[in-house]
Every structure is written in structure tokens, then in C-alpha cells.
Structure 1
Amino acid sequence: MAEHKHGEMDISVQEKTFDGFMSMVTKGAIISILLLIFIALVNG
């Protein structure tokens, strides 16, 4: 069995994927909040 040493794996691809995911979630949340505010203002 191969020896595994903690902290040696290259995780740059996983970090880029996570950063992209968090960016999309943040943008989606902001758009949703702005859309809800717009709807509330239009409906008075």
C-alpha cells in the first residue's frame, strides 16, 4: 500500500472549482435579493 503523507496532494484544481462555485452562489444570491427588492417596490 502506498504511503500517504498529509498535505502533499496538489489541490489547485479543487481550489479553482470551489472558488468558481462560491462566486456563482454569491452572484446568484445577490441577483435573487435584488429581484425580490424590485418586485416588492413594483407591487407597492
Structure 2
Amino acid sequence: MAMSKKDLEKKKSAKRQKLEELEKQASAGSKDAKKKLAKEKRKK
């Protein structure tokens, strides 16, 4: 299935927002968020 550029941009920005949220939670001391953040960074 081909995705339009707009769809890809939306997906990218959503992923970026998700990472920012996880970083905020991790800096607040959430162990679960830290694990998820590490997992996401490994995917890249």
C-alpha cells in the first residue's frame, strides 16, 4: 500500500511527539517510560 507524502509526514510527526512525551516522563523519573524510550531509540 502506497502512502502519500502527507500521510508519511503525519506518521513522522506523531512518532516524534510520542518520543517527546516519553522523554518528559523519563526525565520525571518514570522507569516504564525510560524502558520504552530506550526501545524506541533502538528501533531507529
The TM-score, its normalising length taken from structure 1, stands at 0.58
Structure 1 residue runs without a partner (length 5+): 1-11, 40-44
Larger Rg over CA atoms: 1
Which structure is higher in RCO with an 8 Å CA cutoff and minimum separation 6?
2
Higher helix fraction (1 or 2): 2
Which of the residues 3, 7, 16 maps onto 1:16?
7
Give the aligned length: 28
Segments ≥4 residues shifted beyond 2 Å: none
Q: CA RMSD in A?
A: 1.7
Q: Share of identical aligned residues, percent? A: 4
Structure 2 residue runs without a partner (length 5+): 31-44
Tell me the SS of whatever aligns to 1:38.
coil
